[in-house]
Amino acid sequence: MASLGPTLSSTISRLNLLAELSHNHNTIRIFRALSCSLKPQKSSYHRRLFKSSFSSANSSSSTSNCSKTLGSDLVFNDNLVVLGIETSCDDTAAAVVRSNGEILSQVVSSQADLLARYGGVAPKMAEEAHSQVIDQVVQDALDKANLTEADLSAVAVTIGPGLSLCLRVGVQKARRIAATYQLPIVGVHHMEAHALVARLCDRDLQFPFMALLISGGHNLLVLARDLGHYLQLGTTIDDAIGEAYDKSAKWLGLDLRRSGGPAIEELARQGDAQSVKFSVPMKQHKDCNFSYAGLKTQVKLAIESKNIDAGIPFSSASIEDQRLRADIAASFQRVAVLHLEERCERAIQWALEIEPSIKHLVVSGGVASNQYVRARLHEVVARNSLQLVCPPPSLCTDNGVMIAWTGIENFRLGRFDPPPPAIEPEDCQLDLRPRWPLGEEYGRGRSVARSMRTARIHPSLTSLTQASEYQSS
Average pLDDT, the chain: 83
pLDDT in tens, 35-84: 332 222 332 333 233 222 222 233 333 334 454 333 334 434 479 999 99
Q: What is the pLDDT of residue 164?
A: 95
The full length of the chain comes to 473
Residue 291 and residue 302: Cα distance in Å, rounded?
18
pTM, two decimals, is 0.84
pLDDT in tens, 437-460: 999 999 887 766 554 445 557 899
Report residue 424's pLDDT band, with 50, 70 and 90 as the boundaries: confident
pLDDT in tens, 280-332: 999 999 999 999 999 999 999 999 999 999 889 999 999 999 999 999 999 99
Q: What is the pLDDT of residue 57?
A: 31
Residue 202 and residue 282: Cα distance in Å, rounded?
33
Sign of CA dihedral 90, 91, 92, 95: negative
pLDDT of residue 15 exceeding 90: no
Find the radius of gyration of the CA atoms of the chain.
22
CA 251 to chain centre: 26
Q: What is the pLDDT of residue 26?
A: 30
Average the pLDDT over each of 13-17, 100-104, 109-113, 462-466 and give the range with the smallest value. 13-17
pLDDT in tens, 143-192: 999 999 999 999 999 999 999 999 999 999 999 999 999 999 999 999 99
List the Cα angle 389/97/423 in 5-degree steps.
Answer: 130
Contacts of 453 (CB under 8 A, 6+ apart): 23
Taking every pair of C-alpha atoms in the chain, what is the biggest distance, in angstroms?
72
pLDDT in tens, 379-401: 999 999 999 999 999 999 999 99
Residue 32 and residue 198: Cα distance in Å, rounded?
33
The amino acid occupying position 344 is C
Q: What is the mean pLDDT of residues 251-266?
A: 90
Cβ neighbours, 10 Å, residue 11: 12
- 50, 82, 175 from 54: Cα distances, Å: 10, 11, 22
Angle, helices 319-354 vs 260-268, to 10°: value is: 110
Higher-confidence residue of 33 and 295: namely 295
pLDDT in tens, 308-318: 998 899 999 99
Strand partners of residue 103: 97
pLDDT in tens, 75-92: 344 799 999 999 999 899
Q: What is the pLDDT of residue 472?
A: 81
Q: What is the pLDDT of residue 40?
A: 29
Residue 380 and residue 384: Cα distance in Å, rounded?
7
Q: What is the pLDDT of residue 68?
A: 34
Q: What is the mean pLDDT of residues 270-281?
A: 97
Q: What is the pLDDT of residue 222?
A: 98
* pLDDT cut 90: percent of the chain above it: 70
Report residue 217's pLDDT band, with 50, 70 and 90 as the boundaries: confident
Q: What is the pLDDT of residue 456?
A: 53
pLDDT of residue 20 exceeding 60: no
Q: What is the bridge-based pairing of β-strands 91-98 and 81-86? A: antiparallel
CA 458 to chain centre: 17
Residue 93 and residue 144: Cα distance in Å, rounded?
14
Report residue 108's pLDDT band, with 50, 70 and 90 as the boundaries: very high
* Nearest Cα residue to 88 out of 182, 177, 216, 183: 216
Report residue 428's pLDDT band, with 50, 70 and 90 as the boundaries: confident
Phi then psi for 185, rounded to 5 degrees?
-130, 135
pLDDT of residue 1 exceeding 50: no
Contacts of 424 (CB under 8 A, 6+ apart): 35, 36, 175, 179
Angle, helices 293-305 vs 319-354, to 10°: value is: 160
Residue 53 and residue 151: Cα distance in Å, rounded?
8
Q: What is the pLDDT of residue 47?
A: 28
